[in-house]
Amino acid sequence: MEQSLWEPRAAHLALALRPGSMGLPRLVCAFVLALCYCGRRASGVPGEAEQPTPELVEVEVGSTALLRCPLDAPGNLSHVDWFVVHKEKRTPIFHVRQGQGQSEPGEYQHRLSLQGPGTALAVAQVGPHDERVFLCQSRRPRSQEHRIQLRVYKAPEEPTIQISSKGISVYSQEPQEVATCMGRNGYPLPQVVWYKNRQALKEEKNRIHIQSSQIVESNGLYTLQSILKAQLVKEDKDAQFYCELSYRLPSGNHMKESREVTVPVFYPAERVWLEVEPVGMLKEGDHVEIRCLTDGNPAPHFTISKKNPNTKEMEEQETPDNGILVLDPAQKQHSGDYQCQSLDLEDMTSLSSETQELLVNYVSDVEVSPAVPEGQEGSSLTLTCKAESNQDLEFQWLREKTGQVLQEGSTLQLLDLKREAEGGYRCMAYVPSVPGLNRTQLVNVVIFGPPWMAVREKRVWVKEDTVQNLTCEASGHPRPVISWNVKGMESKQEELDPQRVLGTLSVLVTPELLETGVQCTASNSLGRNTTTIFLTQEKKLPEQESKGVVIVAVIVCILVLALLGAVLYFFYKKGKLPCGRSGKQEITMPPSRKSEFVVEVKSDKLPEEMGLLQGSTADKRAPGDQGEKYIDVRH
């Protein structure tokens, strides 16, 4: 301050004293200024003494700050006083006497300690409130002091961003709220920068406004809130907004970014069009959706109309869901020209799409002639298939029973008919250019002839004096009737198809039926045929005979076991069996571990019983052994 105020005046004085530079009045003024300047420099002005720049110490919140006191004389360190300075007021906080420290009562009482031989003061659990000037002072042998500026830092939490729930209309004449950014628990207050599509945003009159505020928490940390307001246009509907917090730590400058968000932008539609799903060739039976689409947001109110082929007028279609007409299943009559209209309820403007043709491809019902094909064995039969479509058709004949393709084309020739040719034939009319578009018709070919039996004869296992159901199957045209040569408890006939029948007879199995069997006869106007069913009785052993077999088997088993025991005893007496020859058994161990200890087990069993219990590796009994059993366990 002193240099900036008085030295320019001295320069003016020197300029004024140059010969020929001024007159007498100027010379007198210059002399007076010189006297004032010299007197002020000599006496000094209280409160304007130049203070040395404090030493800077930077720490993070929660850590420990080391404040060193670099005074001139080493002996001064044994007698030092520490102060905190606030608005040039010194408050004592710590004293060092003969290398020992003592805290003053107050906020620092339990957070101060000496590090090393009295060279540094440690401040534990540093917080934002500790960002002050600390002063160490010594008066021995002369007064000295050293100032330290403590700077405290805390990285803010990850920034959060919240978009405006209302959205922004392009009709707005002033900036609207886009999003809010929050940065919590930082120190000092971080700086915020807003970005749109990775480009930094700056204040712009009537276009962009950034409103920031801060809250000081009870722990001294800052919470920053920044609100971005802007005027948006239609092109901003996909813009990505985010905020960035810049802050400093002892390690340097850092930054954190929020997630990117997209803001709803409301703008009027400029055009309307129709879209049909699925894309491609449509056919009857498909699930078809006709949608109205627009380039406006939000979507306006839609109506879908279809041209009446008779009056050529557009008729509105019923659409429960706004702008979506569902055709399920699509049919031939759904083909035609469709158009979409939109109505913006905010400015009441209406737009119409271009008409779009919808074509539903179809195949009509298939007709086969003759409708009921009939023929005699050995004759020929011709089947003809007919259908209509808006596309080129092709035909195919298949055997219903096997699915085999018999012939391509609308006509099927059956030559030299045999009974096996009887049954179902299917004609399929299909459109090759539209996959899956086809119609089919099934006809049954009937061949005139006497009944044909499924089997000539068969055998059935039965039990005497029980009720048995007997079945008989036959086919033919005209459809046959089944009869039986015996009278049963119940008889019925079931029609399996127009030419095939199944007869069922419930009978009581008697000895006479077991001898003669049963015949079923199928007959129609062209003849008759029979199937013979032989009844075979299930045989079983008499009860007394079964008991005798069991008794004999038990006796044989007992004899075999007795014989086996006698043979073993004989070999044991002859000494052919190694087991039981000694009451002492030694477990084989490595030679180096023999003779370590022996476990004696006495038994009251007879030597013969003990021998049967011994393993095949037992030693022979030593002379004088009295039947005691020794197990030599060496390890």
Please state the rounded mean pLDDT for residues 280-294: 94
User: What pLDDT is attached to residue 23?
Assistant: 43
Residue 592 pLDDT exceeds 60: no
Q: What is the DSSP letter of 613?
A: H
Q: Is 80 exceeded by the pLDDT of residue 97?
A: yes
Query: Which parts of 478-542 are beta strand (E)?
Result: 481-484, 490-497, 500-508, 518-524, 527-537
Q: Which residue segments constitute the domains of the chain, with CATH numbers given?
A: 55-153 (2.60.40.10), 160-266 (2.60.40.10), 272-358 (2.60.40.10), 367-448 (2.60.40.10), 452-537 (2.60.40.10)
Q: What is the DSSP letter of 389?
A: B
Cα torsion at 184, 185, 190, 192 (round to 10°)? 0
Instruction: Report whether 269 contacts 248 (CB < 8 A).
Output: no
The lowest-confidence range among 70-74, 96-100, 283-287 is 70-74
Confidence at 362, pLDDT banded by 50, 70, 90: very high
Q: Is 399 helix (H, G, I), strand (E, B) or coil?
A: strand
Indicate the SS3 state at residue 356: strand
User: What is d(CA 300, CA 272) in angstroms, rounded to the nearest whole number?
Assistant: 10
How far is it, in rounded angstroms, from Cα 364 to Cα 357?
21
pLDDT at 101: 87
* Residue that the structure tokens 């007698």 belong to: 79
pLDDT tens digit sequence for 292-310: 999 988 888 999 999 999 9
- CA atoms of 185 and 467, how far apart (whole Å): 94
Contact 579, 619 (CB under 8 A): no
| pLDDT tens-digit series, residues 306-357 | 999 999 999 999 888 889 999 999 999 999 999 999 998 877 889 999 999 9
Q: Say yes or no to pLDDT of 161 above 90.
A: yes
Residue 586: how many CB atoms within 10 A of its CB?
A: 16
Q: What is the rounded average pLDDT of the residues 479-500?
A: 89
Residue 51: band (very low, low, confident or very high) from pLDDT cuts 50, 70, 90: low
Say if residue 394's pLDDT is above 90: yes
Confidence class of residue 43 from pLDDT cuts 50, 70 and 90? Answer: very low
**Among the ranges given (284-288, 487-491, 535-539, 607-611), the one the predictor scored with the smallest mean pLDDT:** 607-611
488, pLDDT greater than 70: yes
DSSP assigned state of 593: G
Cβ burial, residue 163 (10 Å; 0-12/13-18/19+): middle
Question: What distance lies between CA 541 and its chain's CA centroid?
Answer: 68
pLDDT at 615 over 90: no
Sequence-distant contacts of 201-206: CB under 8 A, at least 24 apart: 201/228, 201/230, 206/174, 206/175, 206/231
Count of beta carbons in the 10 Å neighbourhood of residue 355: 15
- pLDDT attached to residue 117: 64
Quick one: pLDDT band at residue 31, thresholds 50, 70, 90? very low
pLDDT digits (tens, 9 = 90+) for 235-279: 999 999 999 999 999 999 999 999 999 999 999 899 999 999 999
Only one residue has tokens 């014989």, namely 563
pLDDT digits (tens, 9 = 90+) for 549-566: 788 889 999 999 999 888
Does pLDDT of 283 surpass 70? Answer: yes
Token couple for 299 = 């979507």
- 178 contacts 277 by C-beta, under 8 angstroms: no
Distances (CA, A) of 618 to 301, 338, 388, 621: 104, 105, 100, 9
pLDDT for residue 21 is more than 50: no
The token pair at 189 is 């207050």
The model's pLDDT over 119-135, given as tens digits with 9 standing for 90+, comes to 689 999 999 999 999 99
